[in-house]
Every structure is written in structure tokens, then in C-alpha cells.
Amino acid sequence: MMLSMVSLRSGLDGFVPYSWEISSREIAERYGLRVEDVVRMDLNTSPYVPKKWLNILAKKLPNISVNLYPDTSYLSFRQAVSEYTGRDVDEILVGNGGDECLMIAAQAFLEKGRKAVISHPTYSYFRVCSEIMGAQVEKVPRKPDYGDDVEAIIQAADKTTGLIFLCSPNNPTGNLLKTEDIKKIVENVECPVVVDEAYYEYSGQTCTNLVSSYPNLIVVRTLSKAFSLAGARVGYSLAAKETITTLNKVRPPNSLSVISLELAQTALKNAKQVRKWAAQVVSERKRLAKKLSKFNNIEVVESQANFLLIKLHDRQAEEVHQKLMSYGIVVRDISAVIPNALRITVATPRQNNRLIRVLTKIFERG
Ligand SMILES: Cc1ncc(COP(=O)(O)O)c(C=O)c1O
């Protein structure tokens, strides 16, 4: 077979795919570590394993009809989301993680000849799904404090704009976009606007009360962060009923497993536990931020999420990233988009202390 037969379709020639840090197993092999000693502080996941929910699932497993497809309308799960969010079941779309919800929005509204407006820097998957759909991406630079440039976003949204991607709290900078500013944007543009609230549970700020009044607003949420279910792959979108109907037209019919749905329902019933975990992470984030800012070569950016962006002054982020990895601590190197920056997921107090100890060692040794 000729190689050209399996090359990406035209329009995706220079496409840069989504990238991530290497696996814990590869890291362990590369640096002679035990895989269980590798700490992932690069994925913004929760440090808590929801054992109780897994035990409940284990009891239910023998009665789960894995021979059948899930109810494709995911009604029971939507009812649980409805209870959690206060939105109507018809204002909810379910996806295989927040990522699938983002892709569904891109599939519904983007194509070649249309533009996606992205407040940059932000979650890189916004660019990835826009480009996969053939859309051109216009990056609107954030202000020096990483705040969204609301006026510039509105200006950028012209007749060819198919979708605007916003993120609050923003990954990787951790700052919020005010609900008034979201309102201003949705009122002043003629295209759909996605607000990714993946880290909502850590900030407590949401714009979901706007969805029934603004049909061009789509809020994307996930159970991968505060709900501790990244591996189960469950997310949802909230939007006006007619918008959900439109999005559902391009949604894959059976992308969630019956097992994940069962687990996610138990999780939503235990939102009180999730709020406790989120509060613990927030308090640990504050402690870690204080510790990190004691290093005179580190600037810590204030965050409303479960991660911290740090900027290094007299050291190369890439080198510190590699050294941390050699000690089994994986953080995200952000320097391709923010000079000399690393993003660190808040983990358990013990793991966070380990990070501080290793950083001290790295800086002392030069
Ligand atoms: C802003 C944002 N949205 C969505 C996701 C992906 O979420 P999910 O695991 O639900 O696909 C992430 C993951 O890091 C994220 O940071």
C-alpha cells in the first residue's frame, strides 16, 4: 500500500495533534523507578480514588446488562445531572468526557471556511477539534494577567465565526471569566459560545443559570476532575433545549458504557463528598502555592482550579520538567505557550510535600 493512502486528508497537512506527557510505565523504565512511585501532577485529575462508589458498582455489576446498549438518550443519567445542576433534563447532553462534548459542538458548528475564536492560551483541545473540523482558528491573546480580552473576543467574532471557545476556570492559567463578561459575549455575538467549566467544582462559579435565556451558550462539564472519574469518561453539556436538540443530531449514539453510567450516577448522588474533596484540594492548593512562592526563582499564578501555573525565572522550565520526571514527578511543561512555565496539579499533602522536597534538591544542586 502506498503511504499517501493513509496520510491525513487534505487541509490537515500541518496539523499538530493533541499531545501529552509519556506514560508512567515508560517513565519508570526510563529512570529505573517503580511505576507506583510515579506521581502524575500533569493531568489535573483528582488524587482521591472513589473506593466506596466502586464497591457499590461491584455489587451492582452482576445485574448490569452489558449485552445491551445503554439507553441512548441516557435519561437516568440526565435526571441525575438535572438534580445536580438544577437544569431541565432537556437542557442536558451527555458525552464520553468533556472532550466528546467539545467535539460534538465543533462537529455541529465548524467546517472549512468557518472560524473558531479561542481566548489564548487555553485548553489545547479547543484548537484540535476546530482544526479537525477544517475550521480556521483565531487566537485572541489574553491580557497580561491572563484575563480574557472580552472586547477583542467580540470584535473577532465576525460573520464567518462558527464557534467561540471560553474556559472558566481557564486551563492552564487557573483564572475565572466573570459571568457578566460571558453574558456580554453571548449577547454581542451571533454564533454559539462554549464555556468549558471542567474545573467548576473548585471555583464554585458557574454561568449555567444563563443557558435557558441564551440559546447560543453551551456549558461543558466533566466528571473527570472533582468527581474523581477521569478513567470512566463521563461529561455533559448544558444548553437551551433547542440547542441540545441541534447538538444531539451529531452526537454518537452509544459512546458511554453502561458501567460508566452506573458509576457516574452513584457519583452524582454523592455530590456532598465531591464538595468535601474539592474543598480539601482548594485548601491544599493554597498551601502548595505558599510553599512554591518561597522559592525566589518561582512566580506562582493565582488559581481557582486544582492546578497551579508557575513561571520560572532563572531556570529553564524544560530542564526542571525533565529533572522532576527523573525523580518520578510528572508536571506539565507549558513553555510552548507561556514562556518558562509549568503547570502542577494539586495532589495529596504527602505528594505535594515530595514535590517541594525534590524542587529544593534540584535548585540546590544547580
Ligand atoms: C478545560 C478542560 N476541558 C475538558 C477536559 C477533558 O475532560 P474529559 O476528561 O472530561 O474529557 C480537560 C482535561 O484536562 C480540561 O482541562
312-324 per-position pLDDT tens digit: 998 899 999 999 9
Residue closest via CA to ligand 1's atom 3 equals: 198
- Residue 235 in contact with ligand 1 by CB distance below 6 A: yes
CA of 223 to the centre of ligand 1 (A): 9
Indicate which atom in ligand 1 lies nearest the CA of residue 167: 1
Is the residue at 58 inside a domain? no
26-80 per-position pLDDT tens digit: 999 999 999 999 999 999 999 999 999 999 999 999 999 999 999 999 999 999 9
- Tell me: do 215 and 325 sit in the same domain: no
Q: How many whole angstroms separate alpha carbon 110 and alpha carbon 104?
A: 10
Among 212, 235, 269, where does a domain finish? 269
- Distance between terminal CA atoms of the chain? 52
Q: What percent of the chain has pLDDT over 70?
A: 99
Give the pLDDT confidence score for residue 3 in this predicted structure: 58
On the question of pLDDT at 7 being above 90, the answer is: no
Nearest to 122 by CA among 103, 94, 147: 147
291-320 per-position pLDDT tens digit: 999 999 999 999 999 999 999 998 899 999
Among 217, 238, 269, where does a domain finish? 269
Among 269, 293, 315, where does a domain finish? 269
Q: How confident is the model at residue 289 (pLDDT cuts 50, 70, 90)?
A: very high
Is the residue at 56 inside a domain? no
CA of 237 to the centre of ligand 1 (A): 12
Segment 147-155 mean pLDDT: 98
219-251 per-position pLDDT tens digit: 999 999 999 999 999 999 999 999 999 999 999
Prediction pTM value: 0.97
CA of 234 to the centre of ligand 1 (A): 10
- Residue 157 in contact with ligand 1 by CB distance below 6 A: no
- Residue 167 in contact with ligand 1 by CB distance below 6 A: yes
Please, what is the average pLDDT of the chain?
A: 96
- Residue 169 in contact with ligand 1 by CB distance below 6 A: no
Q: How many whole angstroms separate alpha carbon 270 and alpha carbon 257?
A: 20
Give the pLDDT confidence score for residue 214 in this predicted structure: 98
- Tell me: do 168 and 25 sit in the same domain: no
Q: What CATH number corresponds to the domain at position 99?
A: 3.40.640.10
259-286 per-position pLDDT tens digit: 999 999 999 999 999 999 999 999 999 9
- Tell me: do 323 and 218 sit in the same domain: no
Q: What residues pair up with 164 in beta bridges, in sequence order?
A: 117, 193
Please state the domain count of the chain.
2
On the question of pLDDT at 1 being above 60, the answer is: no
- Tell me: do 263 and 277 sit in the same domain: no
Range in 7-11, 28-32, 254-258 with the lowest mean pLDDT: 7-11
